[in-house]
Amino acid sequence: MANYRMIRINEETVRVLSAVIREVKDPRVSGAFVSITGADVSRDLKYAKIYWSALSDTGNEKETAAGLRSCAGFLRKRLAEELNLRVTPELSFCRDRSAQNGAHISSILREIGVTSGESEDNEEKE
């Protein structure tokens, strides 16, 4: 049952932070269209690893990460207001590269499919 509780806390953390991140006035965060993709809260609820991705691929990843670190106190305060937990976790932010990795794998598979498809077409013509 404790595992179910942790899953719910992780999901609620993502839900709340996804809504609150729109209120951040820091241009490094609001200009990058940051979205929260996941959360991993420790079992003692003292620490939370927040996974984020940015829609704009302008190469300002370090600035966006710095903006998130600077607004961590505001986000933690709002998280405490929304969630009824005894302890509000300290937030640390990690870049989620799953979308980029998926696009890269997809492009590799497309290349393999195109080259193998061309070789099959050449064999059928002969």
Question: CA 92 to CA 118: how far, in whole Å?
Answer: 48
Buried b (16+ CB within 10 A) or exposed e, 24-38: bebebbeebebbbbb
Global pTM reads 0.76
Query: Other CB atoms closer than 10 Å to residue 87's CB: what's the count?
Result: 10
Residues 67 and 121 in one domain: no
Whether 80 and 116 share a structural domain = no
pLDDT in tens, the chain (126 residues): 478 999 999 999 999 999 999 999 988 888 888 899 999 999 999 999 999 998 765 568 889 999 999 999 999 999 999 998 889 999 999 998 887 788 888 889 888 886 555 545 555 555
Same-domain check for residues 107 and 60: no
84 and 70 fall within a common domain: yes
Domain limits for position 32: 2-95
| Number of domains composing the chain | 2
* pLDDT at position 112: 86
Task: Tell me, yes or no, whether 31 and 54 share the same domain.
Answer: yes
Q: Do 69 and 123 reside in the same domain of the chain?
A: no
